[in-house]
Amino acid sequence: MASVAGSEEEGDRRNVSDVVGVLVLGACAAWSLITAAAHDGRPEGVLLALLAVAAGYAAGRISGALLPVAAPCAAALTGLGLTVGLPHLAPGPEIVGPLGHAGATAALLTLATGAACCAAWTTGSPALRALLRLLAAGIAVASAALGSVPGLITCTAVLLCSLASGRMRHRGPGMAGLVLAAAAVTGLTWAVAANAVPDGLAGALRGRLTPHRIGLWHDALHLAREDTALGVGPGRFGELSATAAQSVLPDGKPHSAPLQMAAEQGVTGVLLLAAAFCWLLYALWRSPRPTPVVLTAGAALTALAAIAAVGNALSFTMVSVGVGFLAGLATALPLTDGPARR
């Protein structure tokens, strides 16, 4: 009877997180349509990203339930294969780093590392676990071979966090730390855009981020201040940004997801973006999977949030699908398992 009660409790928790996810994604879609109607914007990109996340999440839940080890392993190999086989990740002219496709490459490699580490924690075979961790380390090495320094940093961070998660008995403090890390990176991005960092740090960041990217951030913050409530409308940043107009190969993006939402959808858009990230971590916190799997997936998603805060990663559909898929894998209850372990 206790086992049945525990299963029902876990089912209720999963239902709550699923309902919250539907409400958050639905609100994001509705708000993009509202702001587009107010300023003649183009919400297709936002709607496609939301659909990709939802589809990836559903696929991850199903795959993780049926193939708890094989599915994340296949996801890791697929992410690595995409970055090696499709270095540009999208048709069109290449945009020189650190803008453009570099952020998407780092994002896919980070998600692939997280999937490999999740598979390692899921398997009961010590030999296979060691092999999967070698795969995760190999993905980090591959990111260095591909010239993706951000990818090397984030992949290494995810691997180290995954190893450390095995010593954590409770997932709550780990989840709180991930939220604080994402907030710190976002806050630093906002401070740079507002010229609110010390001169020494600003000079160092300007050299790493490039003056062009920082100019885009300045434009995004300026547009956000012009219409704080609704923004300028989805897809309209490229039309109104002076820095984007001066670019040889403009892509119409400010290369920062929070600043893009602030410029195009106002403060409500930023809050909804934060709510979507918090929902993913909330779903992981409620997940019946073991704590190391949950914290590993959370670390990968947090690293991706950091990449998206300073890059254009979320503009690529494959990255959005990967985000949902990894979250779905880490929240799925394998059909072969007994009572869920917290």
pLDDT at 339: 41
DSSP 269-323: HHHHHHHHHHHHHHHHHT-SS-HHHHHHHHHHHHHHHHHHHSS-GGGSHHHHHHH
Residue numbers in the chain where pLDDT is lower than 50: 1-5, 90-100, 337-342
| Residue range 194-253, pLDDT digits in tens | 988 888 888 888 878 888 889 999 999 999 999 899 999 999 998 888 888 776 566 778
pLDDT at 336: 65
pLDDT at 248: 59
